[in-house]
């Protein structure tokens, strides 16, 4: 897929530059080791799907363990001229997010100019898996993101419940709170669906 038409061009340029810095040293690897897949989540994926919420950090994991370049910060300007910083979040770890076991397999390739997908295959979590990943923490920002995905018609409440409950099968511990959060997340998507149908 290509980024949403609402994606801010200056953000897209900064994100692409960040990805180019990651991809450059990978081009020296033997072809049998490639491509490396980069699975993008969080605010960056949200922006590419909806054009809303510009995040300062890029949350992503890779299909292989790689030594990242040191310079993964890009400065750019908002349309109003305000300085912005986009950086790769080296602390991001999807182990603590609710994540379906097929989330990487079902991710969506993101087409970026000057990025060779045969070297670095940049992929977004599907809109559904992006919503699922926000359920375990469920901060106010996570709730807003789920509402936004619903408002744009990118997720449906029934599918969100099914995918979340499937993901929950791979987790241990007290899951009562998580079950309640899934119920709440599905209700807010239902509300968005009802508003869309008016």
Local confidence pLDDT in tens for the 198 residues of the chain: 888 888 999 999 999 999 999 999 999 999 999 999 999 999 999 999 999 989 999 999 999 999 999 999 999 999 888 999 999 999 999 988 899 999 999 999 999 999 999 999 999 999 999 999 999 999 999 999 999 999 999 999 999 999 999 999 988 888 899 999 999 999 999 999 988 887
Under 8 Å between Cβ of 40 and 58: yes
- The pLDDT, as a whole number, for residue 51 is 94
pLDDT of residue 5: 85
Contact residues for 118 (Cβ-Cβ < 8 A; gap 6+):
34, 35
How high is the pLDDT of residue 67?
A: 94
User: Residue holding tokens 């994100």?
Assistant: 15
pLDDT at residue 140, rounded to an integer: 96
Q: What is the pLDDT of residue 30?
A: 93
pLDDT at 148: 96
Separation CA 139–CA 135 (nearest Å): 9
Q: What are the φ and ψ backbone dihedral angles of 41, each rounded to 5 degrees?
A: -125, -160
Q: Phi and psi for 144 in degrees, rounded to 5? A: -60, -40
């Amino acid at each position: 897929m290509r980024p949403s038409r609402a994606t801010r061009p200056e953000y897209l340029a900064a994100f692409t530059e960040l990805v180019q810095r990651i991809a450059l040293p990978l081009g020296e690897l033997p072809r049998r080791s490639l491509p490396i897949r980069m699975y993008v989540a969080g605010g960056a994926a949200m922006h590419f799907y909806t054009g809303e919420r510009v995040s300062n950090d890029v949350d992503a994991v890779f299909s292989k363990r790689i030594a990242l370049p040191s310079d993964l910060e890009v400065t750019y300007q908002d349309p109003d001229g305000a300085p912005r910083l986009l950086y790769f979040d080296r602390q991001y770890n999807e182990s603590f997010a609710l994540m379906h076991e097929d989330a990487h397999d079902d991710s969506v390739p993101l087409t970026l100019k000057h990025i060779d997908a045969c070297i670095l295959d940049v992929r977004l979590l599907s809109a559904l898996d992006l919503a699922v990943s926000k359920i375990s923490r469920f901060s106010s920002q996570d709730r807003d993101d789920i509402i936004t995905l619903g408002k744009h018609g990118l997720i449906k409440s029934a599918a969100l419940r099914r995918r979340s409950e499937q993901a929950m099968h791979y987790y241990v511990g007290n899951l009562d709170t998580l079950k309640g959060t899934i119920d709440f997340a599905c209700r807010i998507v239902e509300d968005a669906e009802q508003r869309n149908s008016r």
